[in-house]
Amino acid sequence: MDNLDEMELKLLRKMNQEKDAEITSLKEENERLVKWVDDLQSGMYINCVYCGHRYGPKDKVPCTMADALKQHIETCPKHPMSALKKSLAAAEKRERELREKVERYEALLDAPVVWEREVTKPQPR
């Protein structure tokens, strides 16, 4: 029985090593292709299709044109992502307000209840 477990373990280790090698190879290929795309775009103009903002080969950007466009999209007021960000921010603000309200109600519910009994004075006869 131990021999079978040992053989399975060796097989699993071998399969794991093969998969690790494949993953490493794919990561290297991905890095090569990203650099290739960056090189292709380095002599081109890149435009934002929503607002028309344009980056060109003579612009001084500290990153690739694709990265510059990604950074622009994050702040472009005409990009649909901007509306989503505003909507998300409003929803998060509303959630915070509601959580605070619930916490205040919970604090009230946890507070000891003091019942005051109205004492009526006997009326003179």
User: What pLDDT, on the 0 to 100 scale, is given for residue 28?
Assistant: 94
User: What pLDDT, on the 0 to 100 scale, is given for residue 87?
Assistant: 94
pTM strictly above 0.85: no
Cα separation, 59 vs 56, in Å, equals 5
Domain borders along the chain are: 32-108
Please write the tens of the pLDDT for every residue from 8-31. Answer: 999 999 999 999 999 999 999 999
Cα separation, 57 vs 43, in Å, equals 5
Question: Around 12, how many Cα atoms within 13 Å sit in the side-chain half-sphere?
Answer: 6
Say how many C-beta atoms besides its own lie within 10 A of residue 103's C-beta: 10
Cα separation, 81 vs 17, in Å, equals 41
Say how many C-beta atoms besides its own lie within 10 A of residue 81's C-beta: 13
Task: Give 113 or 75, the one with higher predicted confidence.
Answer: 75
Please write the tens of the pLDDT for every residue from 86-121. Answer: 999 999 999 999 999 999 988 888 877 666 665 566
